[in-house]
Amino acid sequence: MSGLFSALGSFWDWLSTILDPMCGPGGIFTLFGSNTILACGDTGWGDEIALGLKVTIVVAVATLPVGLVIGFIIALGQQSAEKSVRLAAGIYTTIFRGLPELLTLFIVYYGMQILIQSALSAIGYQGRVEINAFVAGMLALSVVFSAYCAEVLLSAFRAIPKGQYEAGDSLGLHRTGTMRLIVLPQLIRIALPGLGNLWMNLLKDTSYVSIIGLSDILRQTGVAVRVTKDAFFFYTLACILYLLLAVISSIGLGFIDRWTKRAEVRR
């Protein structure tokens, strides 16, 4: 059994090396950067920066589902018939859309540390607690993302006519059935441009996690700058990598947009 797992593991390693877009055999840094400062391996900074790119993508991709789910719940709360639910959801969006992302990050990062420390000292543990920067960064980014996401989803909800809900009722669907089968497909289609903008913002906001010590693109290029003193080159490279991510995601979003509109009449 363990032999199978190690075989699978080594196959996965081989696959991820072959298909690595930056440092694999067909990677950008391997093709154009060998024997330069961007070579992969011990002689250059290619592999470090490729790792940073990976961390940035992982943070953004991990934040997206959490932010979407919280944002959906908040949006539902904001259009609830119950006044107190609306109030609670309103307070959430007001606070997290009004605070700078950087401040939210610090508040979550240090706040979690203090909370866990005091909780542990209450049960008798006195050691120092180090919070995982990835979890703190992801949590802070998803909180910010969800606050904006709630606004986008709320305006999309308002664009769906009441008759759609009534149609669901008259078909004898349960409320969750109406939501899942009738409202949600239309909601996604309406909200997609707004959500796409939020995704672009999220990609840019991931740069803040470098400040609490997560090795994303900006952190890794910063390390390279401190060693090589070539600030202009490396920070330009960081900007180019962010631009690359933006271009790739706008192409991807275009595909998704066309896919969601495949049933609409062509004009």
What is the smallest separation between the CB atom of 149 and other proteins, expressed in angstroms? 16
- Rounded least distance, CB 242 to other proteins, Å: 4
Shortest distance in whole angstroms from residue 65 CB to other proteins: 22
**What is the nearest approach in angstroms of other proteins to the Cβ of residue 28?**
18
First to last CA, the chain: 57
Interface residue list for other proteins (CB under 8 A): 77, 80-88, 91, 94-95, 97-103, 106-107, 110-111, 114, 200, 204-208, 210-211, 218, 222, 225, 229-232, 235-236, 238-239, 242-243, 246-247
Nearest approach in angstroms of CB 73 to other proteins is 11
Identify which of 93, 194, 198, 110 has the alpha carbon closest to the alpha carbon of residue 147. 93
SS3 42: coil
Cα 126 from Cα 108, distance rounded (Å): 22
Per the listing, tokens 């979407």 go with 68
Output 29 or 208, the one with its CB closest to other proteins.
208
Pick the closer one to other proteins by CB: 111 or 194.
111
Smallest distance, other proteins to C-beta of residue 55, A? 14
How many angstroms from the chain centroid is the CA of residue 207? 11
Specify the residue, 95 or 171, whose C-beta has the smaller distance to other proteins: 95
Nearer Cβ to other proteins (72/188): 72
d(CA 89, CA 85): 6
User: Cβ(219)–Cβ(51) under 8 Å?
Assistant: no
Q: Looking at beta carbons only, is 20 or 140 nearer to other proteins?
A: 140
Nearer to other proteins, 28 or 99 (CB): 99
The DSSP line for 107-174 is HHHHHHHHHHHHHHHHTT--S-----HHHHHHHHHHHHHHHHHHHHHHHHHHTS-HHHHHHHHHTT--
Of 187, 166, 189, residue with least CA distance to 71: 187
Handedness of CA 9, 15, 18, 20 (dihedral sign): negative
Closer by beta carbon to other proteins, 15 or else 231: 231
The nearer residue to other proteins, 114 or 171, going by C-beta atoms, is 114
What does each C-alpha distance from 192 to 18, 65, 101, 150, 244 come to in angstroms?
34, 14, 23, 13, 21
